[in-house]
Amino acid sequence: MSLQDISDRIAKAESAAGRAAGSVQLIAVSKVQPNDRVEAVLQQGHRCFGENRVQEAAGKWPAFRESFPDVDLHLIGPLQTNKARQAIELCDAIHSVDRPKLAKALARLAQEMGRCPDLFIQVNTGEEDQKAGVLPEDAESFINECRALDLPVRGLMCIPPVDEEPALHFALLAKLAERNGLDGLSMGMSSDFESAIALGATHVRVGSAIFGARVNPLE
């Protein structure tokens, strides 16, 4: 696979779903990838990337941004409150807002810093103990809580359980978003992004299918 293959498959999936060309944003997930692979994708003109750790993003992206200042960087992994300031400085979007303490910290820092990335609320659609995200039944109240804090909530994000049909989770996330008047849907990874697009994904997070297997997988 390559960036071009994935872009072509996204275009086909958009068209098959009767959606406008370009309505799905491809987040190239560069976590744990060697810099030369990331650089190659930058050289091909792609600018939207995802990282799952603030520390790794901080070690990698300021240098790339010197050559590619228009990079659009998305944090897709768990965010500790004590890294929130750094995340706001580095990232254009955060996909993992999942608890009141973090929402309050982001709101306070956004005020102070005069900027806030686009935010996605992570929903634990599979209700898995080990997984981050608000439970589906708590999504509405948490979305309202974030809105009351004036946070720029753009959409919802999910990571389906590995052993279940992802489409069921994508459909649930889409329903929760619609019910709450949200347009953004961050869902779909290397193995299931076409299904996510069919169910309304606006952002797909694709790593290994673009860059190759991760050298040292984190999950």
CB 75 → ligand PLP: shortest distance, Å? 10
CB 112 → ligand PLP: shortest distance, Å? 28
By beta-carbon distance, which residue lies closest to ligand PLP? 207
Q: Are 2 and 210 in contact (CB under 8 A)?
A: yes
Chain residues that interact with ligand PLP, rule: CB under 6 A:
29, 31, 52, 76-77, 159, 189-190, 205-209
Distance CA 199, CA 16 (A): 11
- Range list of H helices, the chain: 3-16, 35-43, 54-67, 84-90, 100-113, 136-148, 166-179, 193-198, 208-211
Q: Considering beta carbons, is residue 57 or 159 the nearer one to ligand PLP?
A: 159
Q: Considering beta carbons, is residue 66 or 163 the nearer one to ligand PLP?
A: 163
CB 5 → ligand PLP: shortest distance, Å? 13
The length of the chain, given as a count of residues? 219
**Strand-strand pairing, 153-157 and 118-122:** parallel
Q: Considering beta carbons, is residue 135 or 218 the nearer one to ligand PLP?
A: 218
Q: Considering beta carbons, is residue 32 or 107 the nearer one to ligand PLP?
A: 32
